[in-house]
Chains A and B, each alone.
Chain A
């Protein structure tokens, strides 16, 4: 078990006054079998009335607007979360259901293309070739993950939101979102239901994924994927780094792709250009004396 404190901080700076901004934040860790949210607070400056709800995907959305003129907006979401180890998937789970009509219909949502996973036929052909007639689902997925790592190098700043996947692959580099979308796109082409996960990673280097030496680190938001293993469930995999998804991964939510779980999005009235700074600070909570004595 690990207890993490996470501070998500976004700051907008506008060159002139803006007004009537409306924002949707998805920064709150979810609670599931592998993690539990202990506390969550959201602070905005200027202050705003925040309305929160759980969306279709099960993610918490914080919605707020600021009508009066402002030239700066900061959003701070603090959460405390406990994470637990994850079991490995059943290695013998069969790939047969991927070819079954009823199974495909049931998982239609995560098999159909979504805006960020559309790619030309070559990526899909490669995926189908790799999965081929493999009998084991886990092995099939691992083959795809290896391929994504072969296709892409981790290089921040080389891609942007909404960049076409074929372009990303052609360029051969990207960040965690691109790794996740590429894997999801390939998996779906091969008939494997796959979904996109947005979250935080407690690792100094997102591409290595090892837990850091320091207690507190400064990172970005992270993204990985979940694939359906027939008869077992959703298996979380992180194509960006070689560490299995575990106690240092904190999930915010999932969806068909980035659009369904984008951390912060919205509109405002004012000049087109703005400076947007996002940072995530994660620290591992020290066990109390009482606990360490036990």
Chain B
């Protein structure tokens, strides 16, 4: 039997106060009407072409973005704590990265995180050493994944500091929701999210090189074949800026330009959705045409700003994640508002003993994978899998982490024609420019199969609109 699970909408079989009105409304509509509206949402998403690509499957396979009809509601006071916790965390992460790449590396010197561990993170880029980021804004867009444990405590599951995706779905979900449940939406005082484009543009312009008075911002995409191309185009449209590919850009005398029909046009800020190591073939020697030769040196010369900063992977490596609470204490002299999930590191001999001892109770994750790939949930694994895992851990202790199994909270959801509880998580988005802002809510992901803990859309996850209340 599993540990107790926290239900978001219900306590002791009665709706929690902030869910009372919504539950009443859903009951009043009835399942037949909910089913009708559910199909309406799906067909709208299909016509608008709001899809995601399923990776690891047949190439080019696209699915319509699945949105669950029941929104998640977060009361204002609860959100205030989350928001403060997110800002605190991202502030510390920015300071850590700044210290690492252009600072005295005080955190490494003081042993906040082991130097060798940070330097051996895949995303730590020696080529980015010494490159300054205006305003120290390195995690311009951060996606911090939160889960809620059986006590209802919000915990950070992982940090996404490179190219976190999903914000376009947050906005599209909201649009769809206001159409699908207009009365319920109108009866709640929900904080808006649709100004995200303006928020992002403001943040990006605020970190332009000092010399540019009216900075030109572009969104850099790997191209139409990329699984998140829809979001790249969406963001460019929302900000009213060009969506460019590497071949549209050229560097001359360490200044970046885009090729236009009226000549070369200077670019000041690149919001990059291209992986760091593809950005500049000169520096990374990547045999790839996605990037722009000379881009990194132009960035180093402070003739342009790249967001997110290059090399952020040093801080969102899953083994480095374990040290973020200590980073908060070190850089901010504060206690973390949002705790981590208890994490053990196999490279540490004491942790290794404990992990091997409790392998069938813990969750083991590779440090550099995303999208839920490579995760082993000990309690669900057979003997053979665990034996194999044991050997893998001993062979490559730096490559994995182990965490206590957390029963994600559940939320009322409309699945297969009826209302039922399903596990959820939350990815809020934090913007850092000259100021810091958190998008109210974020992307709530829901594991659609009953009992499943895997919320990733690539593995059968859906999503919910997330309502943060004004009061």
Contact = CB atoms under 8 A, between A and B. Distances in A.
Do A and B interact directly, with beta carbons closer than 8 Å?
yes
Interface of A: 20, 22-24, 48-49, 51, 53-57, 63, 65, 67, 105-106, 108-109, 112, 259, 265-267
A20 B250 CA distance: 8
Nearest to B101: A56
B49 to A, nearest CB: 35
Nearest to A54: B130
B259 to A, nearest CB: 11
B329 interface: no
Closest 7 pairs between A and B when the two form their complex, measured CB to CB: A56-B126, A56-B129, A22-B293, A67-B252, A22-B294, A22-B282, A49-B253
A22 B285 CA distance: 12
Contact of B252 (A65, A259, A265): A65
A284 to B, nearest CB: 35
Contacts of B293: 20, 22, 65, 267
Contact of B250 (A49, A55, A67, A267): A67
Nearest to B126: A56
B301 interface: yes
Nearest to B120: A108
B300 A51 contact: yes
A47 to B, nearest CB: 11
Nearest to A106: B116
A253 to B, nearest CB: 13
A24 B129 contact: no
A110 to B, nearest CB: 11
B254 A49 contact: yes
Interface in B265-281: 281
A104 to B, nearest CB: 10
Nearest to A109: B119
Contact of B281 (A23, A49, A267): A267
A65 B294 contact: yes
A65 B130 contact: no
B251 interface: yes
A63 B251 CA distance: 12
Interface of B: 114, 116, 119-120, 126-127, 129-130, 250-254, 281-283, 285, 293-294, 297, 300-301
Contact of A65 (B254, B283, B300): B254
Contacts of B253: 48-49, 65, 67
A55 B130 contact: yes
Given A56-B126, A56-B129, A108-B116, A51 B297 contact: yes
9 contacts: A22-B282, A51-B301, A55-B129, A56-B126, A65-B253, A65-B293, A67-B252, A105-B114, A109-B120
From B126, B250, B294, B297, name the one whose CB has the most chain A CB atoms within 10 angstroms: B294
B300 A55 contact: no
B254 A51 contact: yes
A55 B254 CA distance: 17
Contacts of B297: 22, 51, 63
A239 to B, nearest CB: 26
A105 B252 CA distance: 42
Given A22-B282, A65-B293, A53 B300 contact: yes
A22 B251 contact: yes
Contacts of B129: 55-56
Contact of A266 (B251, B282, B300, B301): B282
A121 to B, nearest CB: 16
B458 to A, nearest CB: 31
Given A22-B251, A108-B119, A266-B282, 19 more contacts: A23-B282, A48-B253, A49-B254, A51-B254, A51-B297, A55-B126, A55-B130, A56-B126, A57-B126, A63-B254, A63-B297, A65-B294, A67-B252, A106-B116, A109-B116, A112-B120, A259-B285, A265-B282, A267-B293
A267 B126 contact: no
A178 B297 CA distance: 30
B175 to A, nearest CB: 43
B283 A24 contact: yes
B39 to A, nearest CB: 52
A265 B285 contact: yes
B413 to A, nearest CB: 46
A64 to B, nearest CB: 9
A56 B130 CA distance: 8
Nearest to B252: A67
A109 B114 CA distance: 13
A103 to B, nearest CB: 11
Nearest to B250: A20
Nearest to B281: A267
A23 B251 CA distance: 12
Contacts of B119: 108-109
Nearest to A259: B285
Contacts of B126: 55-57
A56 B300 CA distance: 13
A265 B284 CA distance: 11
A49 B127 CA distance: 20
Contacts of A55: 126-127, 129-130
Contacts of A108: 116, 119-120
A250 to B, nearest CB: 24
Contacts of B250: 20, 67
Nearest to A19: B250
A222 B299 CA distance: 32
Nearest to B280: A22
B433 to A, nearest CB: 26
Nearest to A24: B282
A20 B253 CA distance: 10
A106 B119 CA distance: 11
Given A51-B300, A108-B120, A65 B251 contact: yes
A106 B114 CA distance: 9
Nearest to A101: B349
B308 to A, nearest CB: 20
Nearest to A256: B126
A266 B129 CA distance: 19
A24 B127 CA distance: 12
Contacts of B127: 55-56
Contacts of A51: 254, 297, 300-301
A107 to B, nearest CB: 9
B124 to A, nearest CB: 10
